[in-house]
Structure 1
Amino acid sequence: MQNLTQSSEKEFLGELPPLYLKRANQKIERRRISFRWLAGTVLTALTSTLLLGGALFTALDGRQQLTIPAQAYDQESILESTKKILATKGARPSRTTTDGLPKENDIMMIPTVSREGSRDVVKEKPFLHIVSPLAAAVTGDFSYPKFNPLTIFSASNLPELTAHSNVLIYGADVEGEITFTTTDFPYDSPNLYLARQKDAVEIEELVRNTAPILNIGSTSVISVAYFDPRRFTTSENTLLSPTGAIITAENVSTLSRSTNNEYIGTYYEERLVRLNTARSILSTLKKEDVIGQEAKSISLALASNLSSDIFQRNDRLRIFFEMKNGAGQETLSNDRSIARISVYRAGAHLVSIAKAKNGTYRYAQEPARIAELSIPDKKIKLLAKSALPTIYDAIHRTALSEGITPNIVKELIRIVSFDVDFKARVRTTDGISIFLNLEEGQEKPTDRSDILYAGIKLGNTLRRYYRYLDNDTGKVGYFDENGKSAKQFLLRQPVPNGRFTSPFGMRRHPVTRVRKMHSGVDWAAPRGTPILAAGNGVVEKASWAGGSGRRTVLRHANGYKTNYLHQTRFAKGIKPGVRVRQGQIIGYVGSTGLSTGPHLHYEVVVNGNKVNPLRIKFPSGKTLKGTKLAEFKAERDRIDALLKKRQEENQMIIALN
């Protein structure tokens, strides 16, 4: 009995032999059990930490501050309260703005119209507007061809510019996609009856005869041809005054316009502000005429979120004011309060404060973004004056750094080539503006993008070039704001790489030693250097001409001719009657005839008189006329209005001093 009692006591106290697995002499390996326990504990701790951290981050909505002032909350829903403030029945709406996400460049969605078969399609498409100083210090290694005027002006190896798309700016805002078909008006239709148009006397008689039978409050509508409604002004006509007859155009309603001070009720105004310097929140609100308890409540809520009571330099504010007018009284300062204020920094939204129904301020969701506030300030660093590049290099570096493809840059160089000295150095005030279309879904230009407008400012001169698509030929040209071609009528230097050696005027001939008139200019160049056609024209002669050696004569428009002497050979296909275009290779520099070395003797003849090619004022190139000029001006005006509107939107951000 005693042994049984001791056995039960040992079992109760745990004094039993150790457990064994499989074999009686194999003990449990305590180190293996400890490792598994440790691994499980660590994994559990990590998982718990991640879950807890994610839950806290979601609950705080990205806020890095755990404490929020109690006055920033009440029991109502933030979203519902904001809707009640901004959508009160009877209140005037605020200024409408376009929602937009921040982009690296100024990308715009613009309504366009294009021809697809027999239909016209109107829909929004992306466009890119780039404005940049040519002296900007760009980063990156850009590869582009070295400056070679021959490759720029020569048209022999370059195709004529063609449009990759036939889209035109529509000039009005649209929603979605609109398709319509335009047909001629059926003047010859037997169902169409054309009545004789009434003159002003007949219309006046008709109105005066109808006016006396009208009762007060009744309306009589009649369709008549256009006439001057001032013939029936009530101030001069006592007959029409009692009846209340009003002459208005068709589909037009007459409504007297009231100013904000005359309007009775609540309306809203939006103000965009950018701070030039760091400033306290209270002083910033004071400059916006927000004072007293309202300013203190907003300042406390903003300071708590921003962890500072000071706005930083370049911070941007979007302030939505609630304005109230009473009957017969003008707006007072205490009738103007902030309905919502949002703070942006470096393009990112920081915090929004909205006014609740009970008059307190609390945190609200970010309003729909607008590009003016979302795009961070682009810091442009200019190169030192000692390191300023040539205009040729600056255009390439600036355009390539903005994502424009090399082929589009080549087109840009060709557009401005007749007005720009590419070897000159840029100034710190020089700049370039490019407006081009993008393919749908793209944010960067491709080789299928078209330059619709290019502007380049060099010194005090601004040159502008607009694209014009000739629907008859499908060809593209670039013209100035008056419809004059960007191309010159004639080139002054048909050998782009040539060296000027002899001017126009009297001189002693280097071979005959006889003093005589030198009726052209000489451009020295290595033998075989290509010679370009100075302008569009027809080959009149291409043959040997005695002391002139091999000579080509081109006939141009308006009585102009150009002569090219001392060529070593003619280009393939150059013979009388052949049409050539400006920049086409017509021959090669040589020293045939009476010549002391390889060079081109270049002459310009006007109505049979030889003139100085370097001093004569050439007429401008092709000039648009008639319906083509009207079409060009319409597209030019749409582009100008669009870019001006964009500039005004960007200038809406008001800097506080």
Structure 2
Amino acid sequence: MNYSSFLNKNTKIESNQYYNVKNKKKKSHFFLFSSLLSIAVLAIFITFFTDTYRGLTARTYISSPDAVLPSSKTHSSTHNSTLELPEVSSHSDVLSNTVVYSEAPAAEIKKPVNKPVTDNISTIELTQMVATQEINLPTEESLSKSSVSQNTIIPIVKQAETPAVVQKKSTTDKIVSPQTQELIAAEVNESITTKTVVVKKGDTLSAIFKRLSLSGSTLHKIINSSKQAKRLTKIKPGQALVFTLDNTNKFKSLQYDLDRVDSLTVEKISGSMQFTVRIDSKEIEIRQQFAVGTISSSLFSAGNKAGLSNAMTMKLAQLFGWDVDFALDIRKGDTFAVLFEEKYINDKKIGNGNILSAEFVNRGKVFTAIRYTDAANHTDYYSADGLSMRKAFLRTPVDFSRISSRFSSGRKHPVLNRIRAHKGVDYAAARGTPIKAVGDGKVIFKGTKGGYGRVIILQHGAKYSTLYAHMNSYNKKMRKGTRVKQGQVIGYVGSSGLATGPHLHYEFRMNGVHRNPLTVALPSASPIAKKYRNDFQSAAETMISQLKLRKQDTIALAEQ
């Protein structure tokens, strides 16, 4: 054998030994892993069968009336049902330290189980198994009725020492519908913020919404939601807007006071981008007030002295305006008395109401006006005789103006400087003073007419017509053929045509013939309807008596 072959043989032997050792290691590792896996599987099976056995023995214990219970500390009960256990009775074969329950005193006795199945059951497990049962423990009174062996140990449990009841939570009491949960969540999560914005000079609703980080699309939808909502575009400096926003700064509502009585409210409909708009009115308290006065210089100064506002003095003049020309007829010493309403909100006066009754004495002639509402809910003012105060024509077409030129057949014209008949009455007034239609009628002419300047002529039925000249401008609604109501503004005082200054030239024509507007006999007033006359007379007598009594009291108080 040569040296090289010897080396080859040794190399093969070493290689074989290496692989044999390696295979032995692999086999030992596999055996170890298999052993550990077998032990784990065996442990799982032992645990499973042990738990199953405990469950079976527990059910056997509950179903057996002879089973021996553990000590009283493990007894549990609930309010749902009752598991009645037998009361204790004597038994000659009872073992020491054993508790026996029987169903009745001195009744049939059953042997206890020698090995209680509850030895291996914990208190918690027993509580779970009897969660739907109630165990009634014996009391001293029930036990005293039984005969018990001396070898029997009976645990006496007083009712006061009964273990606490294990309450089973009712699932029906806690069930909440998804809709209710959503509502509760909405109430919890939703917080409302109220912001009051006072309108500044130059403010617009768009600018206010932008300051509050509210979208322009929301504003657009609000404004176009209704005709009432468009009134928001007429906000004025000093007015307040009250916004209500949710916790994400989204619009919820807006309140805007239109005046001291009415307010406009805009509310967003939940779950949509639509809005509701309504007008809310505050409750107004009506109180009666009385005033009496004597004219010394003018009706307005006398009214202010008597405590009347200028607006109420104007109402008084308009009420008697069909019978008295307050620019021409009033004299020093004329008197008036008026019973009227005042409006209050939360004990704060917000304005005046209606005149209930009034009296005006002009040059010794007494005029009385009484407000009356008939059964048909028609309201008007009547004289004490039941004649309507509302005549077919007003005496004057402008309020409290000075007569600068009367009706005359031989007056020297101030511009033409020659004698010329003046077939009307001139009322000097400030430029722009409103001119009113003296009666119901129709516009038959509107335009320029020679020296009259700008003119409107009204036709009142077939018999009467009136002319208004030297106007500064017309009411924009006036057109030829337009119907007008008595007291409606038809134009404004000016000096167009042949005029030396602003004034109104007024003519009254009957069957085409000029008549003196200051003295012409106007059509008589229509009386109250026959069917309401008796009721009116009763109401009128009450009002007149009340007016006279208050007048006397006020004058007597003023003289003191």
Give TM-score, length-normalised by structure 2.
0.39
Considering fraction of residues, name the structure with more helix. Answer: 2
